[in-house]
Structure 1
Amino acid sequence: MHRWFNTAGPCNPADHYMLPAEERLPGVRELIDRKAYFVLHAPRQIGKTTSLRTLARDLTAEGRYVAVLVSAEIGAPFPDDPGAAELAMLAEWRGTAGSQLPADLRPPPFPDAPPGQRIGAALRAWAKAAPRPLVVFLDEADALRDATLVSLLRQIRSGYPDRPSDFPHALALVGLRDVRDYKVTSGGSDRLGTSSPFNIKVESLTLRNFTHDEVAALYAQHTAETGQVFRPDAVDRAFELTQGQPWLVNALARQLVDVLVKDRALPITAADVDRAREILIERQDTHLDSLVDRLRQPRIRAVIEPMLAGTTLGDVPEDDRRFAVDLGLVRRTAEGGLVIANPIYREIIVRELASGVRDSLPRIPATWLTQDGRLDADRLLDGSSSSTSARDSLPSPSARAANTR
């Protein structure tokens, strides 16, 4: 069976069409070689987990490092109980290491330690026992909050001077936000606002979208395996609509080849891509539904609504603008201004913000549209002529006034 376009969870090269992970992570290997602790932040469904899981596997297979991707998300239900969060995370990390690493590279039994010190003690024990330098990618780090988050960051900072023999050689915090935007109730703010609990970071990186050539290369993998061609205009249109956002690129392709054009002898055209776009917008799958959920946040609406209205942003804090960029809702143009990230997001955002008004208006059939939603100029002109004739047949205002006397 041939591979397919993935829209749910990390990609697996045996099952899914995918691009080389490291091409979108320039400089990461150099940071690892330099024993750096760094932050990688990027929007959801852009390929963070897939890229880092693949990188960890490659680093381990090359024989220089013991590299693993673990998650902090399971500790999120315990924002004010670091001890409980630590136990949950460490139990999951052991299972994750068991699936990612050969037996001789897995962690030793984690030592007993007081609450608030368990993560640091576990990383220290693992680094000491590992036969090679330990590299840890900590995914969903920004899912933690409040006391649990601050405790984790301080434990990592405390062990940092003892690397690489007694603490991980290199470590990355991975999530949606840069460390300054991590959620914590402190000093009247709902954000950390500073990197001080993790002031050991060397760099904050992000994961870019696909380029036009990469979209073409991804779609060409389907052509190579099935013979079904994506015409150049289809690739152009897909890139135009998505601006290379990886989930959208895959979601469009999945609709095209699995739903709309299942006959592999038929090529994919730009018109097919437009049909797939409408399906995605109407369905609002998990990724797009989470996009809509972000619009309910006041700090996000303060950025988005003026942009759509064509007015200036006004007194919108730089942190809020940066946060909207980090979430992938908007992007900076080459000239430095902000625009909605891609046309699909723009249409969804406009529909969502106008949904209340739209539902309040009476439904008037658009008789000037064809069945596929395109403008029928003849019908429009006929309707305009009919309206003009009907208006001209009405008595003038003076005549109506005379009739009432």
Structure 2
Amino acid sequence: MAKFFNNAGPVKADMNYHIDPLTRIDWDEVYDLILQQRYFILHAPRQTGKTSSLIAMMHALNKKEDFTALYVNIEGAQAARNDVDAGINEVIGALASAASVYLEDDRPSAMLEEVRKQRKMQGALAELLTRWSQMLEKPLVLMLDEVDSLVGDTLISLLRQIRSGYDRRPKAFPQSLILCGVRDIRDYRIHTSHNEIITGGSAFNIKAASLRLGNFTEDECKDLWLQHTKETGQIFDEKIFPELWEDTKGQPWLVNALAHELTWNNKEARDRSKTLFLEDYFAARERLIQSRQTHLDQLTDKLKEPRVSRIIEELLQGEELPDTVFGKISTDDQQYVEDLGLITTKPQIAISNRIYREVIPREMTWLAQTRIVHESTWYMREDKNLDMTKLLLAFQQFFRENSESWIERFDYKEAGPQLLMQAFLQRIINGGGRVNREYGLGSRRTDLFLEWPLDKEKGFFGPVQRVVIELKILRKGLENTIKEGLEQTADYADKTAAGEAHLVIFNRNPQIPWEEKIWNKTMNHGKWTMGVWGV
């Protein structure tokens, strides 16, 4: 059976190209924690391979014959919310089912009815674990997945029942227990049915460690893709791999989804004699972004959370927002956004990868894009180049007429000017060109790199118009903003080998009339002659 790249669910080694899940964790550290009878956390962003790693750990431990290890997914209890009876009933049912499937042990299933009758659900899980642990010949290592999908009183009951049997381990309770989810337990903010807020740390104060599952390394990304070459003989252009790394930074779902898009959803590539080039890869990346798959939808849905919004808005704007806008960011908030996989903090804070940098502003401005009537044909010259002067003049007028109403509709109002500019450009180049984005906290700018193919038949394999547009907010006087902006724009244009460069400066002072805000001039910096636009 031919293998394929896995973009949905746990890895199946016989069907999927994969990186050995046990190499992605510090197995020695995990095993030491188990030997020390510790209860600990394994967390990572969605679709990074947590389930695959836990299942691999279960099989590895059972092969050692020192323990009885069991993986249980308890996501089904999420629907119960504050209904403890329904939630814990779902948990013990999932545990019994997993024991039957993975261990061929039906004793937990046989105990369910008796446990349900003898104990209220507030103690049923602890009772089941106690009885089963006493029956087992070897100490139990239990792995509970999707713990943080539970909410309210159900989650509190789960954590407290686990804590209640801690002193009975290993003979009458699991020797070691791994709680797995997206977040560290310290980030659990549990709202009870009585409107109390209980933190995960207080409900589960026996945690010994918190381990985070990382992304693939750059070498692992390449190794994974080259498994396809080894299997099928199909060759990837070496230029693809540095782009793959920048686009994904090793996020496992993205790495696999891009490969699946390139090698399978692109039907021409199913001919394995076809070499896949960089432009084939770029086309696959664009299709993936436009597909709005579940992973990407879940990502953008998180942007609405208050704990997330300010940090992301600062990054989109390129500078810190005043505390009066949203209040001061806490260390826990920033760690929470990092745990979600949206940002990295080393070597400096930034959105995690290039695809997320593309997806976030596109999703935030999608409604605006559908309302903008401008078309690329309005701005094309006879030589098929975009007339950037005509386009930016049109944007100035569009911004003057629409900015007040549209920025008010955006969730991220402080970054509204940059987002509206991106929506305008995205609408014009959709289906023809590409807009690449760069922004980072402290840069005080947003860099846009527009690529526009000049030969419709050849697309990006032919000649391409390349334009840099840098966006800045007027903060510290026009002269200083222009001086800094020219230097930054020229530097970015050099880096991207652009043929044309423009600097757009937004004046957000409501007291300044439009007649003074809107202007344009041509200015020089080094070898560059660029358009400077006031909006």
Instruction: Tell me the TM-score normalised to structure 1 length.
Output: 0.87
**Cα shift at 1:91:** 1.5
**1:233-248 superposed matches below 5 A:** 233-248=239-254
Aligned equivalents of 1:276 and 1:126: distance in 2? 50
Change (3 A) 1:229 1:142: same
* Of 291, 300, 303, the match for 1:292: 300
Question: SS of the residue aligned with 2:272?
Answer: coil
Aligned equivalents of 1:298 and 1:206: distance in 2? 24
Question: SS of the residue aligned with 1:13?
Answer: coil
Question: SS of the residue aligned with 2:4?
Answer: coil
**1:377-392 superposed matches below 5 A:** none
**Cα shift at 1:289:** 1.2
* Residue number in structure 1 paired with 2:43: 41
* More moved, 346-355 vs 166-175: 346-355
**1:6-405 superposed matches below 5 A:** 6-26=6-26, 27-103=29-105, 109-110=111-112, 111=115, 112-185=118-191, 192-260=198-266, 261-313=269-321, 314=323, 315-334=328-347, 337-365=348-376, 366-367=379-380, 368=386, 369-370=452-453, 371=456, 372=459, 375-376=464-465
Aligned equivalents of 1:194 and 1:184: distance in 2? 7
**Cα shift at 1:242:** 0.5
Aligned equivalents of 2:170 and 2:161: distance in 1? 15
**Cα shift at 1:375:** 4.0
Task: Note the residue ranges of structure 1 that are not aligned, 5 or more in a row.
Answer: 382-405
Question: SS of the residue aligned with 2:165?
Answer: helix
Two-structure CA RMSD over aligned residues (Å): 2.5
Aligned equivalents of 1:168 and 1:120: distance in 2? 10
Give, as a single letter, the amino acid of the residue that structure 2 aligns with 1:177: R
Aligned length: 380
More strand by share: 2
Change (3 A) 1:97 1:343: same
**Cα shift at 1:88:** 1.5
Contact 1:128–1:167, Cα closer than 8 Å, also in 2: yes
Aligned equivalents of 2:271 and 2:89: distance in 1? 51
* Residue number in structure 2 paired with 1:403: none
* Residue number in structure 2 paired with 1:389: none
Change (3 A) 1:189 1:176: farther
Contact 1:215–1:239, Cα closer than 8 Å, also in 2: yes
Contact 1:56–1:69, Cα closer than 8 Å, also in 2: yes
Contact 2:153–2:192, Cα closer than 8 Å, also in 1: no
Task: Note the residue ranges of structure 2 that are not aligned, 5 or more in a row.
Answer: 381-385, 387-451, 468-497, 500-535
Change (3 A) 1:105 1:81: closer
Question: SS of the residue aligned with 1:68?
Answer: strand
**Cα shift at 1:97:** 1.8
Change (3 A) 1:351 1:56: same
Instruction: Tell me the TM-score normalised to structure 2 length.
Output: 0.67
Change (3 A) 1:269 1:105: farther
**Cα shift at 1:229:** 2.3
CA deviation vs aligned residue, 1:314-366 (integer Å, no higher than 9, x gap) = 522222211111111111122xx311010001100011222344334332315
* Residue number in structure 1 paired with 2:431: none
Give, as a single letter, the amino acid of the residue that structure 1 aligns with 2:465: D
**Cα shift at 1:310:** 0.6
Contact 1:330–1:339, Cα closer than 8 Å, also in 2: yes
**Cα shift at 1:199:** 0.8
Percent of pairs with identical residues: 37
Aligned equivalents of 1:120 and 1:311: distance in 2? 50
Contact 1:107–1:129, Cα closer than 8 Å, also in 2: no
* Residue number in structure 1 paired with 2:477: none
Question: SS of the residue aligned with 2:270?
Answer: coil
Give, as a single letter, the amino acid of the residue that structure 2 aligns with 1:376: Q
Question: SS of the residue aligned with 1:109?
Answer: helix
Aligned equivalents of 1:194 and 1:82: distance in 2? 17
Contact 1:235–1:270, Cα closer than 8 Å, also in 2: no
* More moved, 175-184 vs 45-54: 175-184
Contact 2:189–2:200, Cα closer than 8 Å, also in 1: no
Change (3 A) 1:230 1:131: farther
Aligned equivalents of 1:183 and 1:22: distance in 2? 31
Give, as a single letter, the amino acid of the residue that structure 2 aligns with 1:12: K
